[in-house]
A and B are shown apart, each in its own frame.
Chain A
Amino acid sequence: MQRICPWGFFALLLAFGQGPSLAQTPVQPLSARLANYEMDVRLDVKKRLIDGTEILTWKNNTNHSTSELQFHLYYNAWLNEGSSQFNSVRRRRSFRENLDDYRENDWAYNKVRSIKILDGENWQEEDISARMAFIQPDDGNENDRTVLRVALPKPVAPGKTIRLQIQWQSKVPRTFARTGTRGDYFFIAQWFPKIGVFEEDGGWNCHQFIQTEFYADFGVYDVKITVPTGWMVGATGKEIEKRDNGDGSTTHRYYQGDVHDFAWVTTPHFTVHNETFEEPNLPTVDMRLLLMPDHTSMRERYFAATRAALKYYGAWWGAYPYDHITIVDPAYLSGSGGMEYPTLFTGGTRWLSPIAMRSPEGVTVHEAGHQFWYGIMANNEFEHAWLDEGFNTFSTTRTMEQAYPNPVLTRRYFEGFIPVVFPSVKIAERTEGADQFYGFNSGLKLDKMSTLSWQYGPNAYGLNSYNKPAMMLRTLENYLGWETFQKIMSTYFERWKFRHPKPQDFFAVVNEISRQDMTWFFEQTYNSSDVFDYAVGRVTSQPVRTAEGYREQDGEWAYQKGEQVKDDKTDPERAYRSSVFVRRWGEAVFPIETRITFDNGEEVLESWDGGSSWVRFDYLKNARVQKVEVDPQHKLVLDINRSNNTWERKPQAKIASAKWASKWMIWLQSMMEFFAFFS
Chain B
Amino acid sequence: MKISEAFKKGAHNVLQSKRYVLLAYVISVLLALVLAVALSASLTDSLGNSLAGENLRKGFDPLWYSNFSAAARGLSTTFEPGVVGIGAVLKGLDQMLGGEIFHNDVAIAGVGILYLLLWTFFSAGFISLYAASEGQPSFVERAAAFFPRFLLLAALAGVAYFLLFHFVLNWLNNAVEELTRETIDERVHFAYVAVKYGVVWLLVVGINLIFDYSKIFVVLKNHANALSAPWHAMRTVFSNFGSTFGLYLSIGAVWVVLILLYWLVAPGAGQSSWLTIAGAFFLGQIYLLVRIGTRCLFYAGQTAMFEAVTSTDHESDGYTA
Contact = CB atoms under 8 A, between A and B. Distances in A.
Interface of A: 101, 182-185, 267, 269, 292-294, 331-334, 350-351, 409, 411, 413-415, 417, 420, 422-428, 432-433, 435-439, 627, 629, 641-649, 651-679
A664 B49 contact: no
B51 A674 contact: no
A106 B88 CA distance: 42
B51 A673 contact: no
Contacts of A654: 44
Contacts of A350: 186
B161 interface: yes
Interface in B95-143: 95-98, 101, 104, 108, 111-113, 115-120, 123
Interface in B256-295: 268-271, 274, 277, 280-281, 284-285, 287-288, 291-292, 295
B179 interface: no
Interface stretch (B62-70, B220-228, B307-315): B62-70
A424 B185 contact: no
5 contacts: A642-B63, A655-B53, A664-B78, A668-B108, A676-B115
A422 B43 contact: no
B15 interface: no
Contact of B115 (A645, A648, A666, A675): A675
Nearest to B271: A659
Interface in B72-111: 78-79, 81-98, 101, 104, 108, 111
A295 to B, nearest CB: 8
A423 to B, nearest CB: 7
Contact of B71 (A292, A334, A438, A645): A438
A664 B95 contact: no
**Chain A CB within 10 Å, residue with most, of B32, B71, B97:** B32
B83 A664 contact: yes
A411 B86 CA distance: 11
A438 B270 contact: no
A439 B54 contact: no
A679 B177 CA distance: 31
Contacts of B203: none
Which 4 pairs show the lowest CB-CB distances between chains A and B? A424-B268, A675-B112, A661-B40, A656-B56
Contacts of B96: 674, 677
Contacts, number: 289
B234 interface: no
B47 interface: yes
Contacts of A647: 49-51
Nearest to B154: A679
- Secondary structure at chain B's binding surface: helix, strand, loop or mixed? helix
Contacts of B118: 676
B195 interface: no
Contacts of A656: 43, 47, 52-57
Given A676-B119, A677-B96, A426 B62 contact: yes
B77 to A, nearest CB: 12
Nearest to B33: A665
B184 A334 contact: yes
B113 A675 contact: yes
Given A414-B97, A629-B51, A666 B43 contact: no
A665 B38 CA distance: 11
Given A332-B189, A427-B62, A664-B39, A678 B79 contact: no
Contact of B64 (A435, A661, A673, A678): A435
B277 A662 contact: yes
B193 interface: yes
B57 A659 contact: yes
A350 B189 CA distance: 12
A671 B66 contact: no
A679 B39 contact: no
B95 A674 contact: yes
A293 B185 contact: yes
B318 interface: no
A184 B182 CA distance: 8
Nearest to B98: A415
B37 interface: yes
Given A664-B83, A667-B83, A669-B28, A642 B60 contact: no
B243 to A, nearest CB: 22
B93 A435 contact: no
Contact of A674 (B87, B92, B157): B92
Contacts of B19: none
Given A439-B70, A651-B50, A676-B295, A663 B88 contact: yes
Nearest to A640: B67
A43 B36 CA distance: 61
A660 B79 CA distance: 9
